[in-house]
């Protein structure tokens, strides 16, 4: 139902024949303005709408919209965080790509230089994470990219360059005029974090992009997440509704992680990079205050390494550097499956995870595949007797231990620069990933032609992927930590909040949205993928009263809901149009019946 909202709103405008009245809303005169709060709302958010667009995005009050908007072959609105002039972004509409995933392919292709005629205006781009977001109003994919410039630059400059690349997707190779100049108080940087949202339904495609210097990204991460997480975008004409909900504080569930590490000869640099980024991973887990445990197996053994599951940093660093003498048959899905199945029968050490008491009751389990090759599950199914798989089992893509138990799979794997399974080369290493895109129907993946192993298993389980050639494993691991902690949170909403509108109180005290609150202070994060609130830092004491106010897009149903969406006098126009249509249909049915009776 939610995925029909944007399409339904467009159809509503066509039925009325009054798109300006119902769908466009009032427009501000072209001038730079600090957005004011919505009349009658105290949630502190306002919409940004591109001229003639069918979509709008809600942003926190105080977001600075830069006007007049650029002119030329683009339809975008540029915004800046008023609290930090170094953080820029834009919202725009582009040509339909057929769906959110296809749209993200096009965007990442433009950024990486894989598509498009013009050379990219910066030195390198590196994919950090790519994921789908379920449950939001419009089908959406998110991505993060690290961009390194040829020299020092500002976020305004990079944002302008991205408008030239992405904002002109409707008119490839088009020109843009009237882009803003950098402010005098902007810092110069060489590395930037770019957050991207691609949303599409019914032929209407919308893009959201945020740009921050990498050095300040931890400070502004949640401000950007409150705008670009998929929950803030909907169709014009769907007026948000005030909602609130209450919780009584209870114990936060734990977060259990199972790393599956490729220990073949080509993994020296990649293992070292994961170990080097363990500091950021552990820091994040400790900052968000989650009870966590980590276990490690390899792509050629389901036996837990070291002492098993641990929260000791030194032990994890030793476990993750699993050596380079493992089998060249990298079968991460197979080994993880055997480690997780309580009744596994193939070899010593199988079933090692439940035998060790994991995942713990109430804990969320994330499985992280780390490999520069595609999964070779099928080599345990060669069509002839294999001692490692005497029953010649194939991986069942629809009925397996991951899907059946709600285990989320993530991958640091071979991806090309668009995030598709493939080859890559980076400063950390390279990936052939030759087995990452099966095409023959040879039964390798339960007869699922084109199943892409790690990449598709992550997608199927609601996980995410990062390129093993990425320059920044740490950024991916922090995202993974947040999402796994949220999956174990008891604080779930009945309806999807507009993320930018959340106001959270514990025992009457409003708390900040932050992953790293000060010592002894409580903060919170919101994860749109699971529609959950997750407290960070000092957890609310058991029994504490939690109150959350927010806005949510309505769930329209029936004639009254459609009239209320149209609003005021336009509602009567809609009513008349609908009654006319219903009357016409009834007349047609009566006419058809009379003909049938006559025959």
**573 in the same domain as 531:** no
Given pLDDT bands bounded at 50, 70 and 90, which one contains residue 267? Answer: confident
Q: Can the peptide bond before residue 461 be classed as cis, meaning omega within 30 degrees of 0?
A: no
**391 in the same domain as 350:** yes
Span 291-301, average pLDDT: 93
**199 in the same domain as 103:** yes
Q: What is the pLDDT of residue 346?
A: 60
Domain for residue 511, yes or no? yes
Span 216-231, average pLDDT: 94
* Domains held by the chain: number: 4
pLDDT per residue as tens digits for the range 364-396: 999 999 988 878 776 654 444 455 555 556 678
Q: What is the pLDDT of residue 43?
A: 55
Greater confidence (82 vs 536) lies with: 536
Domain for residue 250, yes or no? no
What is the residue range of 549's domain? 504-553
Domain for residue 246, yes or no? no
Greater confidence (436 vs 106) lies with: 106
Q: What is the pLDDT of residue 531?
A: 94
Domain for residue 495, yes or no? no
In whole angstroms, what is the distance from residue 281 CA to residue 563 CA?
A: 50
**Which of 6-10, 181-185, 342-346, 522-526 is the most confident on average?**
522-526
Alpha-helix runs per DSSP H in 179-260: 217-225
Given pLDDT bands bounded at 50, 70 and 90, which one contains residue 432? Answer: low
pLDDT per residue as tens digits for the range 80-133: 998 899 999 999 988 899 999 999 999 998 898 766 556 678 888 888 999 999
pLDDT per residue as tens digits for the range 13-63: 322 232 222 233 333 332 233 333 323 334 578 888 887 677 889 998 888
Given pLDDT bands bounded at 50, 70 and 90, which one contains residue 431? Answer: low
Which of 14-23, 488-497, 572-581 bottoms out in mean pLDDT, i.e. has the lowest?
14-23
Q: How many CA atoms lie within 13 A of 206 on its CB side?
A: 29
In whole angstroms, what is the distance from residue 490 CA to residue 503 CA?
A: 18
Look at residue 114 and give its three-state secondary structure.
coil
Q: What is the pLDDT of residue 268?
A: 79
Measuring CA to CA, how many Å separate 405 from each of 178, 340, 360, 366, 461?
53, 10, 13, 11, 10
Greater confidence (33 vs 553) lies with: 553
**271 in the same domain as 194:** no
Given pLDDT bands bounded at 50, 70 and 90, which one contains residue 574? Answer: very low
Q: What is the pLDDT of residue 152?
A: 94
Of 456, 485, 514, which residue constitutes the final position of a domain? 485
**340 in the same domain as 202:** no
Look at residue 430 and give its three-state secondary structure.
strand
Determine whether 537 is exposed, middle or buried from the number of CB atoms within 10 Å of its CB (0-12, 13-18, 19+): buried
**456 in the same domain as 509:** no
Given pLDDT bands bounded at 50, 70 and 90, which one contains residue 423? Answer: confident
Greater confidence (436 vs 48) lies with: 48
**209 in the same domain as 267:** no
**295 in the same domain as 175:** no
Q: What is the pLDDT of residue 264?
A: 84
Of 176, 209, 239, which residue constitutes the final position of a domain? 239
pLDDT over threshold 90, residue 572: no
Q: What is the pLDDT of residue 180?
A: 93
In whole angstroms, what is the distance from residue 366 CA to residue 536 CA?
A: 19
pLDDT per residue as tens digits for the range 537-552: 999 999 999 999 999 9
The domain that holds 384 is classified in CATH as 3.40.50.410
Q: What is the pLDDT of residue 449?
A: 53
**Which of 83-97, 171-185, 259-273 is the most confident on average?**
83-97
CA nearest neighbour of 275 among 458, 373, 412: 412
**594 in the same domain as 565:** yes
Span 353-359, average pLDDT: 95
Pairing state between β 140-153 and 241-248:
unpaired
Look at residue 471 and give its three-state secondary structure.
coil
Average pLDDT value over all residues in the chain:
79
Given pLDDT bands bounded at 50, 70 and 90, which one contains residue 320? Answer: confident
Q: Can the peptide bond before residue 359 be classed as cis, meaning omega within 30 degrees of 0?
A: yes
Given pLDDT bands bounded at 50, 70 and 90, which one contains residue 234? Answer: confident
Ramachandran area for residue 319 (φ above 0: left; ψ -120 to 50: alpha; else beta) = alpha
In the block, tokens 């408008």 appear at 163
Cβ proximity of 274 and 468 under 8 Å: no
**Which of 41-45, 354-358, 432-436 is the most confident on average?**
354-358
**136 in the same domain as 270:** no
Of 485, 517, 535, which residue constitutes the final position of a domain? 485
The domain that holds 100 is classified in CATH as 3.40.1000.10
| Secondary structure of 279-298 as H, E, C letters | HHHHHHHHHCCCCEEEEEEE
Which of 409-418, 539-548, 579-588 bottoms out in mean pLDDT, i.e. has the lowest?
579-588
Given pLDDT bands bounded at 50, 70 and 90, which one contains residue 563? Answer: very low
Greater confidence (175 vs 597) lies with: 175
**563 in the same domain as 429:** no
**542 in the same domain as 409:** no
Q: What angle do CA 182, 173, 105 make, to 5 degrees?
A: 90
Which of 12-26, 123-137, 280-294, 432-446 bottoms out in mean pLDDT, i.e. has the lowest?
12-26
């Amino acid at each position: 139902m939610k995925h029909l909202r944007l399409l339904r709103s467009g159809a509503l405008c066509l039925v009325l024949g009054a798109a300006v009245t119902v769908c466009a809303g009032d427009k501000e005169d072209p001038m730079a303005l600090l957005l004011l709060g919505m009349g009658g709302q105290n949630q502190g958010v306002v919409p940004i709408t591109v001229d003639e667009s069918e979509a709008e995005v809600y942003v926190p009050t105080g977001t600075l919209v830069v006007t007049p908007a650029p002119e030329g072959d683009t339809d975008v609105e540029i915004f800046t965080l008023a609290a930090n002039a170094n953080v820029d972004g834009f919202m725009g509409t582009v040509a339909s790509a057929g769906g959110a995933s296809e749209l993200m392919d096009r965007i990442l292709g433009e950024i990486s230089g894989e598509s498009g005629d013009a050379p990219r205006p910066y030195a390198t781009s590196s994919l950090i994470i790519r994921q789908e977001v379920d449950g939001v109003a419009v089908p959406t994919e998110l991505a993060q990219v690290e961009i390194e410039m040829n020299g020092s630059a500002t976020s305004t400059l990079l944002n302008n360059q991205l408008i030239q690349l992405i904002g002109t997707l409707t008119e490839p190779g088009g020109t843009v005029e009237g882009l803003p100049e950098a402010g005098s108080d902007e810092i110069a940087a060489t590395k930037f974090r770019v957050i991207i949202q691609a949303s599409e339904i019914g032929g209407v495609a919308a893009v959201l992009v945020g740009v921050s210097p990498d050095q300040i990204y931890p400070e502004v991460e949640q401000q950007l997440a409150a705008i670009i997480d998929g929950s803030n975008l909907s169709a014009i004409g769907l007026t948000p509704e005030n909602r609130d909900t209450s919780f009584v504080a209870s114990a936060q569930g734990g977060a259990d992680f199972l790393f599956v590490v490729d220990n073949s000869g080509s993994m020296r640099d990649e293992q070292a990079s994961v170990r080097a980024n363990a500091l950021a991973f552990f820091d994040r887990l400790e900052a968000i205050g989650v009870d966590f445990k980590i276990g490690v197996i390899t792509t050629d053994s389901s036996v837990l390494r070291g002492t098993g599951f641990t929260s000791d940093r030194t032990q994890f660093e030793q476990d993750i550097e699993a050596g380079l003498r493992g089998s060249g048959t990298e079968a991460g899905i197979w080994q993880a499956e055997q480690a997780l199945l309580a009744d596994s029968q193939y070899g010593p050490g199988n079933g090692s995870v439940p035998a060790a008491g994991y995942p713990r009751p109430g804990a969320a389990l994330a499985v992280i595949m780390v490999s520069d090759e595609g999964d070779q599950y099928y080599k345990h199914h060669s069509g002839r007797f294999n001692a490692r798989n005497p029953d010649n089992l194939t991986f069942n893509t629809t009925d397996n231990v991951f899907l059946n138990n709600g285990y989320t799979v993530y991958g640091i794997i071979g991806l090309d620069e668009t995030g598709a399974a493939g080859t890559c080369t980076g400063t950390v290493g390279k990936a052939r990933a030759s087995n990452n895109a099966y095409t023959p129907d040879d039964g390798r993946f339960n007869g699922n032609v084109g199943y892409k192993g790690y990449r598709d298993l992550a997608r199927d389980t609601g996980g995410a992927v990062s390129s093993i050639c990425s320059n920044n494993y740490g950024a991916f691991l922090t995202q993974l930590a947040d999402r796994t902690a949220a999956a174990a949170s008891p604080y779930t909403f009945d309806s999807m909040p507009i993320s930018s509108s959340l106001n959270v109180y514990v025992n009457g005290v409003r708390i900040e949205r932050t992953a790293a609150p000060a010592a002894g202070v409580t903060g919170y994060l919101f994860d749109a993928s699971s529609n959950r609130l997750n407290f960070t830092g000092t957890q609310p004491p058991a029994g504490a009263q939690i109150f959350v106010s927010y806005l949510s897009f309505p769930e329209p149903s029936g004639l009254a809901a459609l009239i209320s969406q149209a609003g005021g006098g336009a509602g009567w126009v809609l009513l008349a149009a609908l009654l006319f249509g219903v009357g016409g249909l009834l007349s047609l049915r009566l006419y058809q019946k009379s003909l049938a009776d006559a025959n």
